[in-house]
Amino acid sequence: MEIVVSGIRSTGNLHLGNYYGALQNFIKMQDEYNCFFFIADLHSLTTHPTPANLHGNVKQVLIEYLAAGIDPEKATIYVQSDVPEVTELYLYLNMNAYLGELERATSFKDKVRANPENVNAGLLTYPVLMAADIIIHKATKVPVGKDQEQHLEMARTFGNRFNRLYNHDYFPEPFAFSFGESLVKIPGLDGKGKMGKSEGEGNAIFLGDTPEAIRKKVMRAVTDSGPTVENQQKPQEIQNLFDLMKVVSTPDTLAHFDELYNKMAIRYGDLKKQLAEDMVLATAPIRDKINAIANDADYLRKVAEMGAEKARESASKTIREVREIIGFRKF
């Protein structure tokens, strides 16, 4: 089976954007590909989490991966820091990654602008660590969004550069991959861009949110004063609510509110109430599983240990061969 690798930063709870934008496809992939899904706790160190937050966030993502339907018997779920071979490969790749190309990375420039007081070397070499994550398993398929495609291109660059430098056709090229259907972009509740953790607590519906929290967040979602002519184009903040409804509600419900909008008869309070209840229903099975798994420390430990063992089996083979290719040999 072809190898798929994807990771998610351990920076807190997963939200509807993660689920519909990525996790649903992961669940389908695990039946047809050799999948490695990791929790990127090393990447999260660029923002300097406290030890308690670091561990708590890793645990929460692991719980939510499992609750969403990723099966540790089918896919390899592991914590990035449990596989030290990744950091060894990161070191080797760093020796052939150049300052100019790293500084030109769009994500690095964005982070420098956003946090000028925290421009650390980890941010600069973030694409190198991401490349190590991918090519250590010799993955050929990587489910990524548009914002990560430049990093994936750099992963190909670093792998190909290694192959040329050591005259050895070793690392295959990884490419962006969407399983069967295009990724769903889930808008946030703030009326602007996509759903995300960094845009503020009220922007995202988390998979573990209580029904009360979901209702409160949705009722606070940004709207306008309503349509002024029939069949007018919806402004972004209103289109966002309809796009969310398209994901969690029935087609009949969506059509009903669309018709009310086009006839200038819509009441946003009714729209939000319906959207909130549909979100509560959509997330109920995952929320129940989160609550069931959260306190099962033995199960979580077993999953993490099994994942680390499987990931290290793959990674250690790569590192042994890479060391031989580079010229590290025992006397």
Question: Known binding site: residues?
Answer: 9-11, 17-18, 133, 145-147, 186, 194-198
Q: C-alpha dihedral over 86, 91, 96, 101, to 10 degrees?
A: 80
Catalytic residue among 194, 234, 273, 310: 194
| Residues tagged in the binding site annotation for L-tryptophan | 133
Cβ-in-10-Å burial (0-12, 13-18, 19+) of 9 comes to middle
> Choosing from 197, 234, 310, 317, which is the catalytic residue?
197
Instruction: Give catalytic status of residue 185 as yes or no.
Output: no
* d(C-alpha 198, C-alpha 192), whole Å: 13
**Binding site per annotation, positions for ATP:** 9-11, 17-18, 145-147, 186, 194-198
Kindly report the three-state secondary structure assignment for every residue of 16-84: HHHHHHHHHHHHHHCCCCEEEEEEECCHHHHHCCCHHHHHHHHHHHHHHHHHHCCCCCCCEEEEHHHCC
Examine the residue annotation and report whether 109 is marked as an active-site residue of this protein: no
Q: Which residues of 125-147 are buried (b: 16+ CB within 10 A; e: fewer)?
A: bbbbbbbbbbbbbbbbbbbbeee
Catalytic site positions: 111, 194, 197
